[in-house]
């Protein structure tokens, strides 16, 4: 491989976004451009041919390039966690669909949290060798860039993402042509161009509609992330789901698992079924029954209004022909898949409902969010107890290697080795607990100083670009103190995040920040969605507060919050603040990023922090209950936030031993780093998805698809029989006899339950006793055994069982539910009959 191709292979592999061994190469080629963009592909495209030739002729430079290429090849071929745990792979490919991916600021196709999760999980899958292939969209403009004027007004800009300057490459077909896909659309076919992104061992495929063969109205579909109105949104989601699955099929990739990262990609379940129909000749109903076993739906939404809803007419406009000509079902049948009430024509089409009706498993992104999601999806399972709504959870984690500072990486490497995130992480805490106070404090001091230097540089550039005075620019060059307690708050500026909680008492905040003996500095960043005026007002309120109180030396608002800014903030702040209204924060990942860097969290008991918090690792706001949009509660929580800062956080930071080390603070840092970092890493998250969903889901799909889908035909027949015969089921008499064991004295209830089966056979049902859980315990379920066939003259079948008399017999209710081995109930059929 010649020198340029070697450099290209390094620049086009996004592994550089978390493995920084090649940084010095790009720095040598163009120091200024590298510092400005952190995009090696731009550096390589921009550097002059003479410079490149001269550098490659330098033995040390060329040796470094060759060594890195060899190391990359060895890393790609190395044994991994997945290959060791699953030496006979139970699956070939997991297709991971997401509307956004946050991999690097050099590839700006993300907005925030959802993209963060997708990008970090993709990187962790590469580390672990989990065979993921990702699918997304390439946005010509991505998400808007932000400027804030002197009055605090947010200005939105949409610079063009030149594909030639992004670390991506065109995807070519077998004959060498640029791969393009044709998607039927109203009025004219739509052509999609395909790109690929190398992410370590894995690939991310991106589709875009900016093809010259398209109508002008179609070329801009992939212009902005979540841009435009509802019609633009359904177009984007058709391209992602249907176009994305079609791309994989074109490439000869046939995934066992389709992981839908939020409902935006739910149309993929339709295209997967259509593809299966084409290959096997099965009708849609059977194809969906077979393929859904291999589909996983991950919801990130905490309120019902957050799911995408489309009018029936809009769905019919874009998918009517697809339904009748490709799926061979009516548009009414298609619409039913996205509704609670299948035949209610006024009900909009819900993408989350489509994902549920087309998946074999559903999960939320934290333990609390799993519970919230069970309430959200309860309408689809309305006779079932909330605890039995079929939603599990896998708590999010972040890719620690992407977010750690150089100082933190050095300390972690000393304690746990360079390859600590490539294998299981449960034992890492032991080594971290052994790190000395002075090493931890040295790391924290270095990271804080690095952040202050970055803030000064970024703020200076921000003020210069906005036309600020020379005096303001000069003051920015010396802003903040690297020895001062530094708080960080950065996220989307939307009302439920409550970014103005500290502004409930501006004078108190000023006193807190300007205390001469124990000063505090606060750095804030965040974007308000362009259409969210309340969010824009919240930004303005902070900027005006800084100006009115003349407090810019203690609190700043940095504009254009992106991944690069986020990296610096989470690496350097001492405390990360998070103040959402519970339970709107499904998981949250920003606070997880400070863990690896020794930052501490002061957060609402919401999302991930409910699972993470103990007094030994940070501080908590709230009482663990929901209070809605209550101004009185906001005021109470603002008071609590001030009290925790004034009485606990600040004194702890400034309480020093003779060596000038805050021993109590450092111990809290040590506990946070050691106990929380391994668990709230994407390493654990991806391993959990693999063991809990990917491998079992692949096995279930393969079993259903075997013998030309025989299991699928059986499931369809069973479901139809259940639906047709369910109204004929009814309970008869229920008898209970109290018994006592003559030898042990143990008491028991002996139940005898009569059930009229009607046209349903006994082997299609499960009959059981149910009792609500007590003292926070899960519900009790006791299967009943078939004791005798129908009672003569009464048409009743008798079931019975003896259970321990640990609680009154009246606590138990008999119920009947559908049952077939390998079928998830109530996810795949939600009938249930209760004894009255």
Torsion of CA 722, 724, 727, 728, to 10 degrees: -90
Q: What is the pLDDT of residues 242-289, one digit of tens each?
A: 999 999 999 999 999 999 999 999 999 999 999 999 999 999 999 999
Task: Label residue 453 exposed, middle or buried (CB < 10 Å: 0-12, 13-18, 19+).
Answer: middle
Q: Which of 339, 382, 396, 392 is nearest to 362 (CA)?
A: 392
Given this model, what pLDDT does residue 628 score?
86
Average pLDDT over residues 547-571: 94
CATH of domain 444-655+669-678: 3.40.50.2000
Average pLDDT over residues 427-435: 94
Q: Cα dihedral sign for 317, 322, 327, 330?
A: positive
Residues 6+ positions from 479 with CB-CB distance below 8 Å: 455, 456, 459, 552, 553, 556
Average pLDDT over residues 790-802: 76
State in Å, rounded, how far the first CA of the chain is from the last one.
76
Q: Cα dihedral sign for 754, 759, 764, 765?
A: negative
pLDDT category at 36 given cuts 50, 70, 90 is: confident
Q: What is the pLDDT of residues 367-383, one digit of tens each?
A: 999 999 999 999 999 99
- Is 695's pLDDT higher than 80? yes
Given this model, what pLDDT does residue 56 score?
92
Given this model, what pLDDT does residue 462 score?
81
Q: Which of 288, 258, 290, 260 is nearest to 273 (CA)?
A: 288
As a whole number, the mean pLDDT across the chain is: 94
Given this model, what pLDDT does residue 468 score?
82
Given this model, what pLDDT does residue 590 score?
94
Across 132-136, 156-160, 270-274, 660-664, least confident range: 156-160
Average pLDDT over residues 140-150: 89
pTM to 2 decimal places: 0.95
Residues 6+ positions from 720 with CB-CB distance below 8 Å: none
Architecture of domain 81-396+691-706: 3-Layer(aba) Sandwich (3.40)
Residues 6+ positions from 821 with CB-CB distance below 8 Å: none
Given this model, what pLDDT does residue 610 score?
97
Backbone angles phi, psi at 512, to 5 degrees: -65, -45
Helix (H) or strand (E) run with residue 583 in it: none
363 and 801 in contact (C-beta within 8 Å)? Answer: no
Question: Which residue has 């708050």 as its token pair?
Answer: 489
Q: Which of 595, 257, 307, 241 is nearest to 429 (CA)?
A: 595
Given this model, what pLDDT does residue 438 score?
96
Which pair of tokens denotes residue 467?
């036309």
pLDDT category at 2 given cuts 50, 70, 90 is: confident
Which pair of tokens denotes residue 500?
């103005």
Q: Does domain 729-834 have CATH number 2.60.40?
A: yes
Average pLDDT over residues 708-715: 92
Given this model, what pLDDT does residue 9 score?
95
d(CA 732, CA 730): 7
Given this model, what pLDDT does residue 791 score?
53
- Is 735's pLDDT higher than 70? yes
pLDDT category at 3 given cuts 50, 70, 90 is: confident
Percent of the chain beyond pLDDT 70?
Answer: 99
- Is 134's pLDDT higher than 50? yes
Given this model, what pLDDT does residue 467 score?
80
Average pLDDT over residues 197-217: 96
d(CA 830, CA 833): 10
Which pair of tokens denotes residue 94?
């997991």
22 and 7 in contact (C-beta within 8 Å)? Answer: no
Cα separations (Å) of 481 from 452, 520, 571, 678, 759? 7, 9, 16, 31, 79
73 and 105 in contact (C-beta within 8 Å)? Answer: no
pLDDT category at 790 given cuts 50, 70, 90 is: low
pLDDT category at 227 given cuts 50, 70, 90 is: confident
pLDDT category at 1 given cuts 50, 70, 90 is: low
Pairing of strands 520-525, 485-490: parallel
Given this model, what pLDDT does residue 660 score?
96
Within the chain, which residue ranges are assigned CATH 3.40.50.2000? 81-396+691-706, 444-655+669-678
Q: What is the pLDDT of residues 296-352, one digit of tens each?
A: 999 999 999 899 999 999 999 999 999 999 999 999 999 999 999 998 999 999 999
Cα separations (Å) of 641 from 177, 273, 509, 603? 60, 51, 11, 9
Average pLDDT over residues 492-503: 94
244 and 97 in contact (C-beta within 8 Å)? Answer: yes
If one compares 758 and 335, the residue with the highest pLDDT of the two is 335
């Amino acid at each position: 491989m010649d020198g340029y191709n070697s450099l290209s292979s390094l620049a086009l592999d996004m592994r550089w976004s978390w493995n920084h061994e090649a940084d010095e190469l790009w720095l040598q080629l163009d120091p200024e451009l590298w510092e400005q963009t952190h995009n090696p592909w731009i550096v390589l495209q921009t550097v002059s041919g003479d410079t490149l030739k001269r550098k490659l002729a330098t033995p040390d430079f060329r040796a470094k390039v060759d060594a890195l290429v060899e190391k990359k090849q060895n890393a790609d071929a190395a044994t991994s966690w997945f290959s060791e745990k699953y030496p006979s792979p139970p699956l070939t490919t997991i297709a991971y669909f997401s509307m956004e991916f946050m991999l690097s600021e050099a590839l700006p196709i993300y907005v925030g949290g959802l993209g963060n999760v997708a990008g970090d999980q993709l990187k962790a899958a590469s580390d672990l060798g989990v065979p993921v292939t990702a699918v997304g969209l390439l946005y010509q403009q991505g998400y808007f860039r932000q400027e804030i004027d002197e009055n605090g007004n947010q200005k939105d800009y949409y610079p063009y993402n030149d594909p030639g300057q992004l670390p991506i490459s065109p995807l070519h077909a077998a004959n060498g042509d640029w791969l393009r896909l044709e998607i039927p659309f109203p009025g004219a076919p739509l052509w999609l161009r395909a790109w690929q992104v190398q992410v370590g061992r894995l690939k991310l495929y991106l589709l875009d509609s900016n093809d010259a063969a398209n109508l002008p109205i179609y070329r801009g579909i992939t212009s902005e992330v979540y841009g435009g109105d509802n019609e633009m949104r359904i177009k984007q989601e058709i391209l992602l789901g249907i176009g994305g699955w079609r791309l994989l099929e074109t490439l000869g990739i046939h995934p066992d698992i389709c992981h839908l990262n939020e409902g935006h990609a739910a149309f993929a379940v339709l295209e997967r079924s259509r593809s299966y129909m084409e290959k096997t000749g099965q009708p849609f109903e059977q194809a969906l029954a077979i393929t859904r076993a291999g589909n996983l739906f991950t919801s990130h939404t905490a309120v019902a209004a957050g799911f995408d809803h489309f009018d029936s007419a809009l769905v019919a406009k874009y998918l009517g022909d697809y339904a009748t000509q490709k799926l061979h079902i009516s548009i009414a049948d298609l619409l039913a898949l996205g509704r609670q009430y299948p035949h209610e024509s006024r009900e909009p089409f819900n993408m989350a409902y489509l994902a549920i009706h087309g998946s074999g498993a559903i999960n939320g992104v934290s333990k609390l969010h799993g519970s919230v999601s069970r309430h959200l999806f309860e309408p689809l399972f309305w006779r079932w107890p909330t605890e039995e709504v079929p939603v599990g959870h896998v708590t999010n984690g972040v890719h620690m290697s992407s977010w750690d500072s150089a100082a933190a990486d050095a300390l972690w490497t000393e304690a746990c080795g360079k390859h600590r995130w490539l294998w299981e992480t449960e034992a890492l805490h032991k080594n971290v607990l052994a790190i000395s106070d002075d090493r931890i404090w040295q790391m924290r001091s270095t990271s804080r100083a690095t952040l202050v230097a970055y803030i000064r540089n970024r703020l200076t550039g921000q003020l210069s670009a906005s036309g600020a005075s020379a005096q303001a620019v000069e003051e920015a060059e010396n802003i903040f103190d690297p020895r001062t307690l530094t708080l960080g708050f950065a996220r989307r500026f939307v009302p439920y995040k409550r970014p103005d909680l500290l502004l409930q008492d501006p004078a108190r905040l000023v006193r807190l920040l300007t205390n001469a003996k124990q000063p505090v500095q606060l750095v804030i960043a965040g974007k308000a969605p362009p259409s969210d005026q309340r969010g824009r007002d919240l930004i303005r309120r902070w900027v005006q507060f800084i100006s009115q109180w003349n407090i810019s030396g203690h609190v700043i608002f940095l504009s254009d919050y992106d991944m690069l800014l986020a990296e610096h903030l989470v690496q350097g702040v001492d405390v990360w603040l998070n103040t959402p209204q519970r339970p709107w924060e499904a998981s949250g990942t920003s606070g997880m990023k400070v863990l690896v860097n020794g930052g501490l969290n002061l957060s609402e008991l919401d999302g991930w922090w409910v699972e993470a918090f103990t007094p030994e690792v940070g501080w908590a706001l709230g009482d663990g209950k929901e209070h809605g949009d209550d101004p009185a509660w906001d005021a109470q929580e603002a008071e609590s936030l001030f009290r925790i800062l004034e009485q606990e956080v600040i004194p702890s930071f400034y309480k020093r031993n003779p060596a000038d080390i805050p021993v109590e603070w450092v111990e809290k840092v040590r506990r946070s780093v050691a106990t929380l970092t391994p668990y709230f890493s994407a390493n654990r998250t991806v391993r959990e998805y693999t063991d809990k969903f990917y491998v079992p889901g692949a096995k279930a799909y393969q079993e259903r698809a075997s013998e030309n889908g025989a299991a699928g035909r059986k499931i369809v027949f069973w479901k139809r029989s259940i639906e047709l015969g369910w109204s004929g089921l009814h309970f008869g008499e229920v008898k209970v006899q109290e018994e006592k064991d003559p030898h042990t004295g143990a008491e028991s209830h002996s139940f005898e339950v009569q059930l009229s089966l009607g046209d349903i056979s006994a082997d299609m049902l499960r009959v059981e006793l149910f009792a609500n859980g007590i003292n926070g315990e899960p519900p009790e379920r006791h299967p009943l055994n078939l004791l005798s066939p129908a009672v003569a003259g009464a048409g009743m079948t008798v079931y019975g069982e003896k259970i321990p008399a640990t609680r009154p017999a009246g606590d138990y209710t008999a119920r009947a539910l559908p049952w077939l081995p390998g079928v998830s109930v109530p996810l795949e059929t939600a009938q249930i009959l209760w004894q009255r």
